Structure 1
Amino acid sequence: MAEATDATLVLVTGAGGFIATHIVKQLQEEGYRVRGTVRSLEDEERIKKLKELCPDAKHELELVEADLTKPESWEPAVKDVKYVIHVASPFPTQTPKEESELIQPAVEGTQAVLKACVAAKSVKRVVLTSSCAAVGWGPGADTTKTFTEEDWMEPEKLNAYGKSKTLAEKAAWDYVKELPDEDKIELAVINPAYVMGPVINGSMSTSSEVVKRLLEREKPFVAKLNFPVVDVRDVAAAHIKAMTLDDAAGKRHLIVNSNVWMKEMATILSKEFKTQGYNVPTANCPGPILWLTSLFDRTIKMVMPDIGKVYKFDNTRVS
């Protein structure tokens, strides 16, 4: 595995995101020079939090503006970069009115980043953040099998988010495969499960939504949902290993720790926070009531196809 040197510059896209901030922090702790992209440099408070992720960093975090919907913004962002960790992608808390709101920036944004990497001539490898949703999670997935990196979901059977991650990953593999020899760059993909853990970017994320809803007792019940979960710090570490390990190039990597029922999460939260005044719901909601709720709650509607299902993944490659 390559070691960080003063000359090693890494670009992290969507640097202010839940996963990306942990990646930035760990890269800085390992001595890398890190450049991060944000959609705007005007948010001074957000920028300040990013700059303070690793106070003892050897190199100060560099931040530049880039947007998935603006292809021209990516060539300056990747200038002189050796590794790119492409994390930026839309992640909604509820089903969007138009799935193109997610799919278009995810797919076209990924293509724009890869094209800029080729044009830069300095990029050796791109690590793309995909999802278990692109492997075997969601409507149409066979819950009798254990999924591996060889499996793919059929996009038409997925919700908008799952479809956006699947199509973006497929577009990345297709693009790299078709590059002429003189333009070849390496690609490694991280497919994490439901990512949980400490929030260090100073703002709520979709990944934190389940915990937030339980603590706020948004509903007096919990849905019978099972999550393949993974710690965000493990996800960040996996990105960095995939960035430099020779064997990681050209492969997908399933990042999953275990499976947890929402009721189990609620019980753990209740035990931890009850003394602080939180009244976390721990009773499963009857199916008919959940279905009625989904008629006017788009978040519940989004998860209805997963009720009672357990999706299993083989994490042998990274264990």
Structure 2
Amino acid sequence: MPKELDKPPLVLVTGASGYLASHVVRLLLQEGYQVRGTVRDLSNEHKVKPLKELCPNSRFPVQLVEADLLKKEGWDNALKNCEYIMHVASPFPNKPPSQEEDLLKPAVDGTLLVLAACARAGSVRRVVITSSIAAVHGETVVANDRVYGPKDWTNINSPFTDAYAKSKTLAEKCAWDFIKNLPEEQRFELVSINPGVILGPMLTNVVGTSVFPLKRMMNKTMPLVPAVNFYLCDVRDVALAHLKAITVPEAAGKRFIVGSESLWFQEMSLILFEEFVNQGYWVFHRHCPYWLVWLTSFVDSSAVLILPRIENVYQFDNNLMIKILKLTPRTPQKTIIDTAYSLIERGIIPRTKWYTGPKERDNW
């Protein structure tokens, strides 16, 4: 987008203080857009102050407004004069919820609240929703050598589909249905971004749920590594995909799987070990057997989430991301190493006396 325009488009980013959303906000500001972000509580300085400091030299300072996915109030005000919406906000648990509704209600009802407000606003041209590969294939069983693509949907009725995958699938499906059923005069374009497990440097001290396993590897609270495989993506690539989703005309009406490749926890731990062992960090990389993960699940609820994934390999097709969005993902090695350096630089992992710091900073 040309930065010399007098009136650049106004973009709303929901859940602006989140791990991914903060990257989206900063990238938009850097590109010269006007950005409005929603937060649940404007008086929460822990969330608000870092947002205001994301891009101090931007042409337009970020605007912040209060809005909650569980409340109708505030959304009409948040959407006023916005041309583009990036609906990033959605709960991502690090342990199973006590009841499914804790995830389903904000994900599904929240999405419908935002889309209904978009329809009323009259100014919205395109909405980008942050979905997940969990909406493409969220069951914890896989077909041998199956590669899942944008035409695939998670079976929400499967006993192997957890509450998070169900929430992302229902939220995305209700978004596509909402657009389909809108009167022509109110209709706007929709794009879905379906990222894998998001890693990468943090712009605030909010540690994303997906970053916790790497944090545990770095602080030695994961003494053995379970045989768990994840399809990874870089938070910077996902933010860029959101930007391209509003700038590439051909993106309208499509689902984009964003990611690089599938990696085992053990491969991740070895990448960290090789990078940081000479800087005074010991990263365990010995295999953890299934039975031990099962026993651990009785005292650590986060183990319940990974137990059904053990030994399964999940593969996804990111060709649309490359061909239409022209986005070449970072390597998982770079993503993992940059994540760890970010944890150290922000004081979340203590520095050792041998710590040398990152060799370069790629947009973080």
- Please, what TM-score do these two structures have when normalized by structure 2? 0.85
Deviations 1:194-245 (A, max 9, x none): 1110011222120211111111222310110111101110000001101121
Letter in 1 for 2:305: M
Partners of 1:253 and 1:90 lie apart in 2 by 20
Q: Is 1:225–1:306's contact at 8 Å kept on the other side of the alignment?
A: yes
Aligned to 1:46: 47
| Residue in structure 1 matching 2:252, options 232, 249, 259 | 249
Detail structure 1 runs of 4+ shifted over 6 Å in the superposition. none
Per the TM alignment, residue 55 of structure 1 is displaced from its structure 2 partner at its CA by 1.9
Letter in 2 for 1:170: K
Name 1:58's counterpart in structure 2. 59
Cα 1:279–1:261 change in 2 (3 A) is: same
Contact 1:143 1:312 in 2 (8 A): no
Asked if residue 269 in structure 1 is aligned to residue 272 in structure 2, the reply is yes
What is the aligned partner in structure 2 of residue 110 from structure 1? 111
Q: CA offset at residue 264 of structure 1?
A: 1.1
| Corresponding position of 1:198 | 201
Q: Residues 30-64 of structure 1: CA distance to partner in whole angstroms, max 9, x if unpaired?
A: 00000000111111242121111112211101101
**Could you say which residue in structure 1 is the equivalent of 2:145?**
144
- The 8 Å contact of residues 138 and 305 in structure 1, kept in 2 or not, is answered as no
Structure 2 letter corresponding to 1:63: L
- State the secondary structure of the residue aligned to 1:10: strand
2:142/2:313 contact within 8 Å kept? no
Q: Is the CA contact (8 Å cut-off) linking 2:297 and 2:303 kept in structure 1?
A: yes
Asked if structure 1 preserves the Cα contact closer than 8 Å seen for 2:139 and 2:155, the reply is no
**Pair 1:286-2:286 in alignment:** no
Residue identity opposite 1:12 in structure 2 = V
Q: 1:7: how far off? A: 3.6
- CA deviations 1:165-190 (Å, max 9, x no partner) are 01100010011110011110110000
Q: Is the 8 A contact 1:19 1:232 kept in 2?
A: yes
Aligned equivalents of 1:248 and 1:88: distance in 2? Answer: 21
CA shift for structure 1 position 141: 3.8
RMSD: 1.3
**1:96 matched residue in structure 2:** 97
Deviations 1:238-269 (A, max 9, x none): 01101121111111000011111111111121
1:18 paired to 2:51: no
Give the CA deviation at 1:100: 0.8
Instruction: Give 1:276 deviation, angstroms.
Output: 4.1
CA distance in 1: counterparts of 2:135 and 2:241, whole angstroms? 18
The 2-side partners of 1:178 and 1:185 are apart by: 11
SS in structure 1 opposite 2:56? coil
2-structure distance, mates of 1:186, 1:77:
19
Per-residue deviation, 1:156: 2.6
Cα pair 2:34 2:61 within 8 Å, conserved: yes
Alpha-carbon deviation of 1:296? 2.6
| CA distance 1:213–1:143, change in 2 (3 Å) | farther
Larger deviation, residues 113-122 vs 300-309: 300-309
Partners in 2 of 1:192 and 1:164 — Cα distance? 15
Cα distance change on mapping 1:3 and 1:153 into 2, 3 Å = farther
For the pair 1:225 / 2:257, whether they are aligned, the reply is: no
Matched residues in 1 for 2:144 and 2:151: separation? 16
Structure 2: which 5+ residue stretches go unaligned? 323-364
- Which moved further from structure 2: 111-120 or 285-294? 285-294
TM-score (norm 1): 0.96
Once the two structures are TM-superposed, the CA of residue 134 in structure 1 deviates from its matched residue by: 0.6
* CA 50–146 in structure 1, closer or farther in 2 if over 3 Å, else same: same
CA apart distance, 1:3:
4.5
* 1:237 matches 2:240: yes
Q: C-alpha separation between the residues in 1 aligned to 2:2 and 2:171?
A: 30
Question: What pairs up with 1:60-209 in 2 under 5 angstroms?
Answer: 60-157=61-158, 158-209=161-212
Deviation at 1:162, TM superposition (A): 0.8
1:307 paired residue among 307, 310, 313? 310
In the TM superposition, residue 155 of structure 1 has moved relative to its aligned partner by 1.2
Output the amino acid matched with 1:213.
Answer: R
Is the 1:143–1:309 Cα contact (8 Å) retained in structure 2?
no
